Amino acid sequence: MDSAQPILGAARGKRWNWHKLANPGQFLRVSARFLLPLSIAGVLITAVGLVWGLWFSPADWQQGQTVRIMYIHVPSAWLAMSGYAGLAVCSVISLVWRHPLADIAAAEISPVGASFTALCLASGSLWGRPTWGTWWVWDARLTSVLVLFFLYLGHIALINAFDDRERGARAGAILALVGVINLPIIKFSVTWWNTLHQPASISLFSAPKMYVGMLAPLFVSALGYTLLFAAIVVSRTRSGIMERRVRGLLQARAERAA
């Protein structure tokens, strides 16, 4: 039941390796050191990026001030997708190597990812109304991001739908991996099909289609969002591990008393 038990006899190898981090006890010790700096950096960099973007960057020639929604919308969209990629990595580790930490992390990523996806959908809707003339359209990009939101919600529901937590984690991992097919669909929806949503302004292989004075605050915001996402997930994972320990201790006590 309590899969967080192997913590105590943590292997103390001389060489640093990632398997050590996969041990929940070791994860608690290591993350205790970097969680606070990570959180502070996340809050500060996000604040700098958003203040820069929302007040000090130039308005768009066509959209005017409305373009500032971008500094909230685009980083949340990036994090919604990379959060899902993180969930998928945890799911592979959970299914193949059965690391208990991967189960805990997966369970803690999906509510955060769902929140960032909701922020992306809401800010996009608020942006669409003044620019396109509509709150919502069923084009390939908007619909596939809505599916991403439902995948996160489905993952949350599925891992909590079993009495046996390990079976719930396994079912959730399978759902998360099937849903990975949605990531390329979201990314390439705007190039494969005619959509109302415009194609990407920033890509790896061509020059950005955006003024540098807008690009810089966007990247700062995105960096801040990423650190913030990581800080929230690490902190939730820590409390997830401690929750399991407490549950294990309480159960052991109840069994002794019985």
Name the residues that contact other proteins, by CB under 8 A. 58-63, 67, 70, 92, 95-98, 130-134, 137, 139-140, 177-178, 181, 185, 192-196, 198-201, 207-214
Q: How far is the CB of 230 from other proteins (least distance, A)?
A: 26
Of 20 and 247, CB closest to other proteins:
20
Q: Is residue 114 a contact partner of residue 156, using CB atoms and an 8 Å limit?
A: yes
Q: How far is the CB of 133 from other proteins (least distance, A)?
A: 3
Q: How far is the CB of 22 from other proteins (least distance, A)?
A: 13
Kindly report each contact of residues 14-18 with a partner whose C-beta sits within 8 Å and lies 24 or more positions away, as own/partner.
Answer: none
For residues 128 and 122, what is the distance between their CA atoms, to the nearest angstrom? 10
DSSP assignment of 39-78 equals HHHHHHHHHHHHHIIIIISPPBTTTBGGGGGHHHHHHHHH
Of 74 and 234, CB closest to other proteins:
74
Q: Is residue 97 a contact partner of residue 29, using CB atoms and an 8 Å limit?
A: no
Of 198 and 251, CB closest to other proteins:
198
Q: How far is the CB of 198 from other proteins (least distance, A)?
A: 5
Closest CA to 201 of 85, 81, 67: 67
**What is the separation of C-alpha 49 from the centre of its chain, rounded to a whole number of angstroms?**
19
Q: How far is the CB of 177 from other proteins (least distance, A)?
A: 7
Of 6 and 130, CB closest to other proteins:
130
Of 51 and 196, CB closest to other proteins:
196
